Every structure is written in C-alpha cells, then in structure tokens.
Structure 1
C-alpha cells in the first residue's frame, strides 16, 4: 500500500525509506515551518502590540479582529504545507457567508468555532512550533556541522557523535514532522458539526442505506428460511410418498430419481444462500469465527490472521463481515490468484484490515469496479480504504474503521 503520511512511510518501508522522497519532504516541511512560523510570530506580535496600544482609544479592536482573521490565512497555508507529509487533503471547514460583502464575511468568520481554533494554532505556531522546528534542524545539522568544523585530536568522540546524529537525521526529522503534522491536523481538521449540511445529509443517508440493507437482508433470509425452504422440504416429502406408490422398474421411478436429485441440489443451494445472507456463525461466535468459516470453504487457500476483540459492535461486525466476504469473492472471480491472506488488528479504537492476494493486479478504484461498493461500506462507518494493485500484482486492500466501546 502506498503510504499517505511520513510516519507510515517510515514504518512500512524502513529499508527503502532513506531512498524515498519522504525524508526530503519532511525536511522541506520543517524548513518552511521555520520561515512560516517566523512570519506568524511577526504578525501576532504586531497585531497584539498595535491592538493593545490602540485599545485605550477604542480603536484597538480593529487590529485584534485583524489578527483573528489573519489566523485563517495562516491555517489555509498550513493546510497546504501539510500535503508535504500527509497526502490526505484537509478540506476547508469554513462556511460561505450568507450575504455578499466584507462585513458578512467577517461576521461569519468570527462566529465560527474553527476560526478560534485556527487562532489558537497560530499563537501556538508563533510561540512554540517553529522554535521546535528550528531546534530539531539545529540538532540534526547545525550541531554536527559545528563539531565537524572544529575537529582536532581531542574532539574525535564528538566527531563520532556528529556522524551518528547525521546518519539518524532522516528518521529524527521525519519523526518530528509526523508529530507536528498530526498536531496541526488536530487543530485544523473540520469537526463533524462544522461539515456542510449537504455533506452531513450524505453521511446520514449512507448510514440509513446501510441500516435498511441490513434490515432487508434479515427479512429476505427469514422469508427464504420460513417460506421457500419449507416448501422444498414439503415437496421432498411429497416425492417420497409418491415413490411408495411407484414400481421400482417403471419409467416414473427414473423421473422421480431425477426430480429428487434436482430437489436436493436446489435445497443445498438455498441453504448456502441463506447461510450467506445471515450466517449463524457470525451471530453466535463473532467476526473472527465467521471469516475463518468462510475462508475454510474458499476455492483458493486463504491465510486468516485476525486478532480482534471477542465481539465487536453489531453494525461494525456485520458490515465488516460482508466487506471482507465481498473482497474475497472479488479475488476468486477476477484476480487469478493462487493464495490470499486476511489480516486484522484492533488498536487504539481503530479496526485495521488488510486483504492481500498474489493475483494479476491492475485493480483501478476509479474505474467503477467492485471496489467502489466496498468503499461505500467503509465510508458509512466513517472509515477509509486504500487499494494498492500494480499491474502484475500483488493486490492489497487496506481498511481502517473507527470502533469505540462504551
């Protein structure tokens, strides 16, 4: 899977990390952070000094309001800078003014909670973050340069120390860049209540569709079990009674045998369908047992490595079962794989699943393939999904879903 953050790149590809662009991206993020933080400090200091100085004549409120509004510009630039070390774009959480003109724009911004979070981030950036960026860069590069520039016969231990610091600098710089980006995302990412009304309605609609799908699935399973399956059983009994009155060597006996064979096949297919709609093992024993049971009947070998809580919340458990079921079905139908693996972990209120196969690859999520339906299921749970499928394989489906216990 292609890493989307500097931390992921460092954790997933420890050997090839040094030759990737991520250390340079992290260095650019911290270097620009020093310059950007210096500018933010000047803006904050000027706004505070001028605002407090003029407050006594009742016009100092304007510079202070200007400082608050300037923080929105600082936040907008920071959202763009985050793309250096975090490829997931942060949307602009600000609402459009309800009326045209500067006055409506200012009034809208001052009423938004995100504006005040952006102000807090601007103050934090000006007061501390850029200093920390400078300290990390100074420790990684300035300190070794100073020691190496003053070498003599008595300072060789410092030369060794400087070499070690320089060798470790890509990891040091990337570690702090990842931490700084995570902190910035905490301040600048939109909260659910700040999302647009249309987007909230889309999410609510996704949840309603998922709930209605589950309810309809249960209804169909019950109708098949209590209706069609019982009729097939009754038909089998009727054929059995008819055989009692049919001579064994008559043509009718051969026709009865064929009818019973076809009835048995139809009954088995119906039972498999019912089991797929609402597998008893999922209801009785949970997700791990259900996936292991499905993998045992899979047409290609599947390695299942699921280390999850004994039971998950019902909606999450059901949705993830059908997602993994559909992902594995896609492997059997389209990938040409000879083996597959399903791995799952629960860590820090997050469910993480990886579905891998050694097939031909070439899956394009943007081409309207079956992956789109999987992504819709994940989004309905506020999760996210990534697909890595180069031509020739292998294919990796990575899913992350929030899962919190009360």
Structure 2
C-alpha cells in the first residue's frame, strides 16, 4: 500500500492510485508481460523436447483410436516415465538460468528478489548433489513449469487478446476503407459503418489491457517472490548464522584482549609494584628505628604488598598464568583449592586441549563453583574433567538441595551462552532435594569459535 507519499513498489500498489494510467506502471506491466512471453517461449521449446516421448504417445493414442495402429501397453508405461525422468533430471538444470533471467525481469514490477541457494561444494558431482538437494532448486523448477504452462499463456492472452486484438478493432474502419476485409468470428466485415461499431469494443479492450497486465504482473511477482527467492526460514537461518559468527568473533577478540591485559598487568604494573616494594623495604631499613618516617614507610610497604596481592587476584581472574603456561590439568587444582567448599577433583587428560577450550572449561568450572558457594547450602562438590572421543567433558556435582533455575539470575545462562559460542553445550540436572549436576561438553578441536559457523 502506498503510504506517506512513498512511490508504489508493486503493480497492486499502483492500481490503487487514481492516475494509474498516467504513471509508468502500465508500460512496465506490459513490458513484463512481453518479456515473460519471450522467456516462456524459449523455456517451452526446451521443456517440449523433454516431453517428446509423451507427445509421441499422444499421437499413437490418436492413431489407435482411428484404427490405424494398435497401441502397446509397454508404450503407455515407458513413454510417460521417460518424459517424467527427463523432466526431473534436466528440468532443475534448465530452471537455474531461467530463474536468473526471471529475477531480472521481475525487477520491472517488483523490488529485487534475492536467491536462496546454498553455496555449491567444489567438484562437479558435489556441486550437482548440492543443487539437486537444495529446496530452492525445486522451487525454481516449479516456477519453470508455471512459467511454461500458466504465466506465458496468460501473458499471450493479455498482449494479443487485449492489446493486439483491441488495436485491430480500433483501426477496423481504416482497414476496411483501404480494402482489407476484417474476419470476425467466421464473419467478414467489409463496410465502414459496421466497422465503426467495432471501435468502442477495441477502445474498451485497449483500456482494459493495462489493468489486466498490472494484475497479471502482480500475481507473477508474488509467485516469483515465493518460488525464486529464499525461504523466510532460510533467510532467518542465514541471519542467525551471521549473528552467531559475529558473536564468536567478539569472543575471540575478547579472549585475545583479556590475554593482552593479563600480560600487561603481569609484566608491567605488577613488576613495577614489586620494584616499589623492594625500594620501600630498603628505605624502611635505612630509616631510624621507631621514628615516624620508619612507621610511614612500614605502612606504605605493607599496603603495597597488599596491592600486589590484590592485583594478583585480578590477574588470576582475568586469565591465570598457570592456565596459560601449564594448561587445564595444572590450573584446576589451584582453582579448587580456593573454593570455600571442599572439592573432590578428578582430571583425566592424556594431552593438553586447545587454548580456547581450556579457557572456556576453566571459567565454566570457576563459575559453577562460585554458583554453588553463592546459591546453595552444599557441603561437598565433585569436579571431573575427561575426554569422550573428540569432546572434552566437565561435570560439576554438588550435594545441595537442588532446584537450580537458570532464569533466576544464577549465572547459568551466561555460562551456557559462553559454551555455545565454541560449539559446545551445557546440560543441567537439578531435581528438588538434589543433587545438582552441571555437564559441559565442548568440541576438543583446534578450530577457533569464529571458524565454527
């Protein structure tokens, strides 16, 4: 619908305007019908070759009814199946270029239609398999059949029954006056007075042709949009994949930035604070014992050491150096030692997982332990890490009362999102009365999150 002065985008919107005949839409609709007739004629000629066996069968049936030949049963079965096989085997291949031309043609009467094909795999057979298993290819094939047997005939009807025939009737008096008799329904019009009676009929046909062409173009555009464009679900799926890739790229960038911050703090600020502690210690030794200067230096010395400890905690929370240097098997024991609740740890890893998997599993364990300490009354926790084929599994079980709900702000939702980004999943079992078990499964490969989708 044309709203707020926006120009019409389709023939249907243009038809709602009072000055429709004075716009460009009648000409665009008629041009679209003419182009459809040309494209449909070429497509019909090619599809007709695929239907030659069926045409031969039709001729045999006619001759059989006339008693000229006897029809064989195997012909009735084989020839239709042969035509059907040719149509199903070659029709989709013909539909691909026809769909490209039709998307271009429909731009006359419709905003651009985006194709919804999946990207073909490399190689001839792989590419053909992709094409023949792609739903978009078969929707284009359905459109090809509609173009051949519905759209092209209707376009012919509009152009010749309305435009050409109307023009002939409108010019009937001139044709008769120059000695050209007009054949009309097996009757000939040879006098001018009779020919003048046909002029209003021709005018009505010509006047109706733009409206008929616009309606036909709109129906054609709707069919093209639904059969030649990507499915809404496929479009949505592509958008979701792009969103997931974007989120994965952000995770990769965040992980790299976190490592940079940890390295800068460890190698920069922390080293300077250590040097400051040493200098304060030396100054404290040089100061007179019991003096106010010595007390001030002692206080500054202790506060700086506390600051170093706090910074070490921050660095550990950003990315533990032990995790980066020695891996998950060495970092997890240190993590569970910091827990306020006793933890039984089991780590069964033959080889070190990729760094992004280690980081995700480590912080998943840290978040799970923090949730248990904050939201439950558990007295004991069990943490197990092991490989199951190409999957790294983390299980955290506590003996709390259960009833954990990810929607109640327990941090489980964020934990699940972080795991999903690297292609993993989180499973939660927390019946009333306990125990609560969190199982994290992550693909143990060297593919970065942004390369998974």
TM-score bin (small chain): 0.5 to 0.7
Residue 339 of structure 1 corresponds to 380
1:218 to 259, 272, 280: 259
Query: Is structure 2 residue 321 aligned with structure 1 residue 280?
Result: yes
Contact conserved, 1:53 with 1:60, CA < 8 A, in 2?
Answer: no
Written as runs of structure 1 = structure 2, the 5 A alignment for 1:123-162 is: none
Distance in 1 (CA, whole Å) between partners of 2:315 and 2:446 is 30
Contact 2:117/2:134, CA 8 A, preserved across alignment = no
Shift of 1:273: 2.4
For the structure 1 residues 53 and 111, does the alpha-carbon distance in structure 2 shift closer, same or farther, using more than 3 Å as the test? Answer: farther
TM-score (norm 2): 0.47
1:113 aligns with 2:154: no
Contact 2:403 2:431 (C-alpha < 8 Å) held by counterparts: yes
What is the CA–CA distance in structure 2 between the aligned matches of 1:227 and 1:285, rounded to whole Å? 22
CA distance in 1 between counterparts of 2:259 and 2:274 reads: 21
CA distance in 2, matches of 1:309, 1:261: 43
Residue 209 of structure 1 pairs with residue 250 of structure 2: yes
Match of 1:304 in 2: 345
Q: Would you say 1:56 and 2:76 are equivalent positions?
A: no
Q: Does 1:376 align with 2:396?
A: no
Q: 1:55 to 1:327 in 2, by over 3 A?
A: farther
Is residue 228 from structure 1 mapped to residue 248 from structure 2 by the alignment? no
Q: 1:358 aligns with which of 382, 399, 407?
A: 399
What's the CA shift for 1:285?
2.5
- Structure 2 unmatched ranges of 5 or more: 1-75, 93-102, 107-112, 119-129, 137-233, 448-453
TM-score by length of 1: 0.52
Three-state SS of the structure 2 residue aligned to 1:351 is strand
CA distance in structure 1 between the aligned counterparts of 2:282 and 2:326, rounded to whole angstroms: 39
5 Å-filtered alignment, 1:6-405, equals 53=77, 55-56=79-80, 60=84, 111=131, 113=133, 196-404=237-445
Q: CA deviation at 1:381?
A: 1.3
Contact 1:55-1:61 within 8 A present in 2 as well? no
Higher mean Cα deviation, 245-254 or 300-309?
245-254
For residues 96-140 of structure 1, the C-alpha deviation after alignment (integer angstroms, 9 at most, x for no partner) is xx99xxxx9xx9899573659xxxxxxxxxxxxxxxxxxxxxxxx
2:284–2:298 CA contact under 8 A, matched in 1: no
Following superposition, the deviation at residue 220 of structure 1 comes to 1.0
- Provide the C-alpha distance between the structure 1 equivalents of 2:78 and 2:409, rounded to a whole number of angstroms: 60
Distance 1:112 1:57 in 2: 19
CA-to-aligned-CA distance 1:196-222 (integer Å, 9 cap, x gap): 211211221222122111111111112
3-state SS of 1:262 partner: helix
Count of aligned positions: 248
C-alpha displacement at 1:226, in angstroms?
Answer: 2.7
1:285 to 1:243, Cα distance in 2 relative to 1, 3 A: closer
Hey, what's the Cα distance between the residues in 1 that align with 2:237 and 2:351? 37
Shift of 1:307: 1.7
Query: Once the 2 structures are TM-superposed, how far is the Cα of residue 279 of structure 1 from its aligned partner?
Result: 2.3
Distance 1:308 1:112, change over 3 A: farther
8 Å Cα contact 1:361/1:390 also seen in 2 = yes
Mean CA deviation greater in 360-369 or 285-294: 360-369
| CA displacement 1:344-395 (0-9 Å, x = unmatched) | 2212222222111122433211344311111111111111111122344321
Measured after TM superposition, the shift of residue 228 of structure 1 is 2.1
Partner-residue secondary structure (3-state), 2:247: helix
Deviations 1:245-272 (A, max 9, x none): 4321223333332222222122122123
Q: Secondary structure at the match of 2:423?
A: coil
Measure, in 2, the Cα distance between the counterparts of 1:239 and 1:332. Answer: 38
Structure-2 separation of matches of 1:295 and 1:354: 14
Q: Is the 8 A contact 1:304 1:342 kept in 2?
A: yes
Partner Cα separation in structure 1 for residue 81 and residue 132 of structure 2:
28
CA, structure 1 residues 245+60, in 2 after alignment: closer, same or farther (shift >3 Å)? closer
Does the 8 Å contact 2:378/2:398 carry over to 1? Answer: yes
